[in-house]
Amino acid sequence: MALETLFREQEPTGEGILPSQEIVELINKGKIFAVQEIEDDQIQPSSIDLRLSSNAYRVRASFLPGKSALVLDKAKSSGMHIETIDISEPKLFEPGAVYIIQLMESLALPSNVFGVANPKSTTGRLDIFTRLITDRGEEFEYAERNYRGGLFVEVISQTFPIIVQAGMKLNQLRFGRGRKRAIAGDSKLREVDQEDRLVDADEASSEAYIDRGLRVTVDLQGNGEGVVAYRANKYAPPVDLSKVNYYDIDEFWTPIYRSEKRQLILEPHAFYILASKQRVRVRPDFAAELLPYDLASQEFRVHYAGFFDPGFGYGENGEIPGTRAVLEVRASQIPILLEHDQFVGRLNFYRMAQRPKKVYGGLIGSSYQQQGLALSKQFKREQQYSPGFRPGALAREKGSDEAVNGGRSRGQDSHDVDDDEPSTLSLAFPSWGLEHGMVAKERGD
């Protein structure tokens, strides 16, 4: 279906993040264009997915071109360039290496529209660090008003070797009109919370803690299987980003079970997937972004892909009671103790310029609408959510008689699951059930 058939021509609306229909209008007017036709499924409720071209460059270090330089000139300069790679066929990217990839999309932005990029959720959950770069740019992840030129993405896989190919979508770009960071204030959030709760709409005892945004805390109580986190394994095999519901978890992740004290020590330089205690809700007239609790300390980083589309945890008309935020966490130089319900970040809300004509959710193939503690879509969903599955079972089948959790036997865990405890699936997908939990399409986040 051609993009122009999706929406009628749209007059510009007010200030805020531009909705899907205005993104389509920018495409129709040639303000967003590409070497290959832009597809319908690239358009998200408040962003556009950006596609890798076949032109990739391995470079010595991360860089910004600065006002006087073009990205490719700097990437191909003698002091920076290591290798030119054609990714029209699948290619292996090594962990820790820095790659610059030209994107298929380009911009010719109006004077009143800017762009802000971020990794897609799947990208962040694989510990793949991406940043948008523009020609003559002095700031990562930002396209200035009036910007005319190509787009590039810096890609650094920090844990796993990854297999990439042209056409894949690792990051997304949203557009705004007005102030760059027009965050809804606390008084507005309290008003919204009174009208339509920001967290846990199905739990009368749950209250939103609003203080310079919605405060988010970590869940170390765990789900029905007692798993509170996954820690990425070192020296794991490559992850082909084109695969969906494909890889066995135990080859790549160590599940961590809840402790009696509901605590977890983050190991230096290790990568973890955790979940928020709160089930958050983003009304369709807002978008949101999760920021770490203290950007200055850098003791650990939370959530590389911190953007939440309109409708996340909410749906079209509030039919979803809330969705946990998955936390992508990396400790820095020292071990860090996390405790259950510890404050880890703030969810900032941004007004949409207009309600989008499509919202985040199953109808547009979004992968994580009613997630619990969810890994990226490349890993087998049934191993995360099926009632009969115990993380660590695959390792035992391969000859290990101990479950993962510091070498402790699963049988010695004082928090084994009772038969009448709710399944992980019912907690992760409370209103969908097994069928919907297993059939997420390969698109969206």
- pLDDT digits 0-9 by tens, 59-83: 999 999 999 999 999 999 989 999 9
Question: What's the pLDDT at 207?
Answer: 86
CA distances from 109 to 10, 16, 125, 161, 387 (A): 16, 16, 31, 35, 50
What percentage of the chain exceeds 70 in pLDDT? 76
Say yes or no: 167 and 262 in one domain. no
> 318-334 pLDDT, tens per residue?
989 899 999 999 887 88
In a domain, 445, yes or no: no
Residues 82 and 214 in one domain: no
Q: What is the pLDDT of residue 296?
A: 52
- Position 226 scores a pLDDT of 86
List, as one string, the DSSP characters of 267-294: PTT-EEEEEEEEEE---TTEEEEEEES-
What integer pLDDT is reported at residue 86 of this predicted model?
98
Residue 444 lies in a domain: no
Burial of 301 (0-12, 13-18, 19+ CB in 10 A): middle
**pLDDT attached to residue 383:** 79
Give Cα 271 distance to the centre of its chain.
15
242 and 146 housed in the same domain: no
Which among 177, 203, 228 is the end of a domain? 177
In this prediction, residue 371 carries a pLDDT of 55
| Residue at 443 is within a domain | no
Domain boundary among 148, 177, 206: 177
DSSP states of 227-269 = EEEEEEPTTPPPEETT-SS-B-GGGTEEEEEPPTT-EEEEPTT
Amino acid 432: pLDDT: 30
Q: What is the DSSP letter of 135?
A: T
Instruction: Output the CA torsion 307→313→316→320 (10° steps).
Output: 180
3-class SS of residue 316? coil
Chosen domain end from 129, 152, 177: 177
The CATH number linked to 386 is 2.70.40.10
Q: Do 273 and 137 belong to one domain? A: no
Is 73 domain-assigned? Answer: yes
pLDDT of amino acid 235: 93
Residue 419 CA to residue 387 CA, distance in Å, equals: 10
Is residue 294 located within the same domain as residue 336? yes
* Claim to verify: residue 159 and residue 200 sit in the same structural domain: no
Based on the structure, what is the number of domains in the chain? 2
Whether residue 195 is found in the same domain as residue 70: no
What pLDDT, on the 0 to 100 scale, is given for residue 385? 52
Residues 12 and 60 in one domain: yes
pLDDT-flagged residues of the chain (< 70): 1-13, 202-205, 223-225, 292-305, 362-371, 385-445
pLDDT number for residue 422 = 29
Residues 237 and 152 in one domain: no
pLDDT tens figures, 343-373: 988 999 999 999 999 898 755 444 444 457 8
pLDDT of residue 222: 78
Q: Do 166 and 191 have their domain in common?
A: no
Residues 127 and 194 in one domain: no
Residue range of the domain that includes 281: 186-438
Same domain, 143 and 71: yes
Distance CA 328, CA 307 (A): 13
pLDDT at 152: 98
Q: DSSP letter string over 195-225?
A: HS-SB-TT-TT----BSSSEEEEB--S--TT
